[in-house]
């Protein structure tokens, strides 16, 4: 319970609940809050539904709330909180950048105490740099305006005592018997919106011991269920029926029951009667949650909604991303088993956040490697752009992982990323006992090969020519080589994708590299070698220019022994 400390005691730290669907944002905001001696993190929630449960359970002094979240949006969460809890809310979201944005105006209307525009862009990795002081300042200001907040009164069950006034007549015994035999929940409300009948299944599903006849609809759907009461009242008043409507019911005990609900108004002797029928779809949601741990969320959703036949197999365009941690074997030997598992779980949590934010799905983890897909099982639009942006943000997220490592090893984690685009066979593949949604095709193989050769070229991200050709937005990059990778006959351009655009000084270096590569392609090896040497003078660590310079030297020396005319394509002999 939060209260005012007595004289001489250390000030009690104010407790803040952080609500955001991004693992990275929750981690960054936690660090920002914990840096202030007057603030502490009471808990975290990844969506609005969990946040409402946490508010009831933890009684925080303040909620930091994102807007765009699955399950229940931030604005809907704020609306429900404003009805039931005195806890102030600060909105922290990239959707409220403009003073006149619809989201900002709606948040203010719903009672947000303050609004902070989160930096735009994937998972807002620059949050601490751009908004740390603003978050702390806003939290202190909001918490300092009123006296120290008293703990919220514990949630109580709705008053289920029926008013004697206008109590509907008892339901006929034969109809009540019919309702009692149904496995799904059924509620009947009379013309005045008072409960006329409820079957045992309704009490069991809604976890209510008693449902007395005459209970007003508003009292029945109280607490965090007011929006559902409004929808049902609208149906009773002549609005459109609800059919197969998925919703969440907040029980008196503080739990949430997922329902699939239908409601319609029917004519009866006593007047219009609202018939509400519903099923508990908790098992379906649990199945989707379990599948999501082994399959990506989009794949799990398709499996639950349409069955495995929907993923039998199809040829589809896709971009495949393959990433791998470099020198992982020596790293794992130094860390030991437990340290390695902790590091991988932390690393994968950051990377999964980035990939999900860009619309990718994780095909599989292969040891320390990640294979991710963009454009399947359903295209989202600009999927190639999403994949390339994901690769760039993964490199920025890696810096955050390295900043937060406490394993004592001096070497930072380094990764390589390969990107390839093309038509793939996508579907559930495996044996009857174990299947996995994955893709097969040249693009998948090429992405893996490109990741492997990032070490040879000394770069972090390599993308094939088809990936670059399908981009709709400009991305800083350079053409590094044209190669045939092992196992594929068709040559491909390979481009280095830059995480950040080079500065003005870097332009001279890139020009020198481009001049060298143009000369190399036409077989002017001496001219190419000189240009690559200039590039190395400007950027001594450019391993790609060094590799090509040495190759030019080799080709110039052995040009007489070439068995075929030089076509500017280098064949790689190793995977």
Closest alpha carbon to 343 in 353, 333, 354: 333
**Does 540 fall in a domain?**
no
- Residues 212 and 130 grouped into a single domain: no
Lowest-confidence pick of 303-307, 336-340, 363-367: 303-307
- Residues 355 and 271 grouped into a single domain: no
Lowest-confidence pick of 277-291, 315-329, 504-518: 277-291
- Residues 132 and 252 grouped into a single domain: no
Instruction: Quote the percentage of the chain above a pLDDT of 70.
Output: 84
Length of the chain: 575
Return the half-sphere exposure (C-beta side, CA atoms, 13 A cut-off) of residue 323. 29
**Does 266 fall in a domain?**
yes
**Does 156 fall in a domain?**
no
pLDDT value of position 456? 95
**Does 139 fall in a domain?**
yes
- Residues 196 and 269 grouped into a single domain: yes
**Does 33 fall in a domain?**
yes
CATH of the domain at 317: 3.30.70.1230
CATH of the domain at 265: 3.30.450.20
Contact 486, 575 (CB under 8 A): yes
**Does 23 fall in a domain?**
yes
Closest alpha carbon to 467 in 360, 383, 569: 383
- How big is the CA angle at 395 (ends 392 and 397), to the nearest 5 degrees? 110
- Tokens at residue 446, please? 């090429």
Distance CA 245, CA 259 (A): 8
Distances (CA, A) of 524 to 399, 530, 542, 567: 40, 10, 21, 12
Model pLDDT for residues 145-171, shown as the tens digit of each residue: 432 233 333 344 455 555 544 445 555
State the DSSP string of 198-226. Answer: E-HHHHHHHT-S---TT-BHHHHT-GGGH
How many domains does one find in the chain?
Answer: 3
- Tokens at residue 305, please? 């909604």
CATH of the domain at 92: 3.40.50.2300
How buried is 126 (Cβ within 10 angstroms: 0-12 exposed, 13-18 middle, 19+ buried)? Answer: middle
19-23, 125-129, 427-431: range with highest mean pLDDT:
19-23
- The pTM assigned to this predicted structure is 0.73
pLDDT value of position 165? 46
Neighbours of 4 (CB within 10 A): 10
Model pLDDT for residues 458-480, shown as the tens digit of each residue: 999 999 999 999 999 999 999 99
- Residues 260 and 333 grouped into a single domain: no
pLDDT value of position 146? 32
DSSP 124: G
Using CA atoms in the order 337, 341, 347, 351, what is the torsion angle rounded to 10 degrees?
130
- Residues 331 and 388 grouped into a single domain: yes
Model pLDDT for residues 6-41, shown as the tens digit of each residue: 445 555 889 999 999 988 889 888 988 888 888 999
Assess whether pLDDT exceeds 80 at residue 131.
Answer: no
- Residues 323 and 471 grouped into a single domain: yes
**Does 75 fall in a domain?**
yes
Instruction: Quote the percentage of the chain above a pLDDT of 90.
Output: 51
Neighbours of 527 (CB within 10 A): 16
Distance CA 534, CA 545 (A): 9
Instruction: Enumerate residues 6+ apart whose C-beta is below 8 A from 234.
Output: none
- Tokens at residue 230, please? 């409004």
Assess whether pLDDT exceeds 80 at residue 178.
Answer: no
Model pLDDT for residues 36-90, shown as the tens digit of each residue: 888 999 999 999 989 998 998 899 999 999 998 888 889 999 988 887 778 999 9
Closest alpha carbon to 361 in 449, 463, 291, 305: 291
- Residues 67 and 132 grouped into a single domain: yes
Closest alpha carbon to 456 in 345, 574, 364: 574
DSSP E strands in 409-454: the ranges are 415-430, 435-440
**Does 523 fall in a domain?**
no
Distance CA 160, CA 213 (A): 10
Alpha-carbon dihedral sign for residues 78, 83, 85, 88: positive
Tell me the residue range of the domain where 192 lies.
173-280
């Amino acid at each position: 319970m939060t209260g005012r400390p007595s004289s001489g005691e250390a000030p009690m730290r104010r407790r803040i609940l952080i609500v955001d669907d991004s693992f990275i944002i929750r981690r960054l905001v936690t660090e920002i809050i914990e840096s202030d001696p007057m603030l502490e993190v009471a808990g975290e929630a990844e969506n609005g539904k969990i946040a409402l449960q946490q508010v009831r359970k933890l009684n925080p002094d303040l909620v930091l709330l994102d807007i765009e979240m699955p399950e229940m949006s931030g604005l809907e969460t704020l609306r429900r909180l404003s009805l039931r809890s005195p806890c102030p809310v600060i909105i922290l979201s990239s959707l409220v950048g403009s003073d006149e944005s619809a989201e900002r105006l709606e948040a203010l209307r719903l009672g947000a105490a303050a609004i902070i525009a989160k930096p735009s862009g994937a998972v807002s990795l620059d949050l601490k740099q751009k908004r740390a002081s603003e978050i702390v300042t806003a939290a202190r200001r909001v918490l300092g305006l009123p006296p120290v907040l008293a703990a919220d009164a514990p949630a109580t069950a709705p008053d289920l005592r029926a008013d004697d006034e206008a109590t509907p007549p008892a339901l006929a015994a034969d109809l009540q018997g019919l309702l009692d035999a149904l496995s799904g929940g059924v509620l009947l409300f009379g013309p005045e919106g008072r409960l006329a009948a409820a079957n045992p299944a309704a009490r069991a599903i809604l976890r209510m011991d008693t449902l007395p006849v005459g209970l007003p609809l508003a009292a029945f759907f109280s607490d965090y269920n007011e929006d559902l009461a409004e929808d049902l009242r609208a149906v009773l008043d002549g609005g459109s029926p609800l059919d197969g409507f998925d919703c969440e019911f907040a029980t008196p005990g503080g739990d949430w029951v997922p329902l699939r609900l239908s409601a319609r108004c029917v004519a009866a002797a006593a007047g219009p009667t609202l018939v509400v029928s519903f099923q508990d779809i908790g098992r379906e949601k649990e199945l989707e949650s379990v599948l999501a741990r082994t399959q990506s969320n989009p794949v799990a959703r398709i499996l639950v909604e349409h069955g495995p036949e929907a993923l039998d197999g199809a040829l589809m365009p896709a971009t495949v991303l393959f990433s791998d941690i470099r020198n992982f074997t020596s790293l794992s030997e130094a860390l030991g088993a437990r340290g390695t598992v902790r590091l991988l779980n932390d690393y994968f949590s950051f990377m999964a956040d980035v990939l999900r934010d860009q619309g990718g799905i994780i095909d599989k983890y292969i040891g320390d490697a990640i294979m991710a897909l963009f454009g399947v099982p359903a295209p989202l639009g600009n999927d190639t752009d999403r994949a390339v942006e994901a690769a760039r943000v993964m490199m920025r997220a890696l810096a955050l992982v390295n900043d937060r490592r406490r394993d004592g090893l001096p070497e930072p984690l380094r990764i390589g990323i390969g990107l390839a685009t093309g038509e793939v066979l996508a579907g559930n593949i495996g044996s009857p006992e174990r299947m996995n949604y994955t893709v097969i095709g040249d693009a998948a193989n090429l992405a893996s090969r490109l990741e492997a050769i990032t070490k040879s070229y000394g770069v972090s991200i390599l993308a094939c020519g088809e990936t670059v050709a399908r981009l709709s937005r400009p991305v800083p990059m350079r053409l590094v080589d044209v190669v045939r990778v092992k196992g594929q006959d068709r040559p491909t351009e390979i481009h280095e994708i830059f995480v950040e655009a080079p500065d003005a000084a870097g332009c001279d270096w890139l020009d020198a590299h481009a001049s060298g590569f143009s000369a190399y392609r036409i077989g002017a090896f001496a001219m190419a070698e000189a240009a690559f040497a200039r590039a190395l003078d400007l950027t001594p660590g450019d391993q790609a220019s060094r590799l090509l310079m040495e190759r030019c030297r080799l080709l110039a020396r052995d040009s007489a022994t070439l068995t075929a005319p030089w076509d500017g394509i280098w064949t790689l002999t190793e995977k």
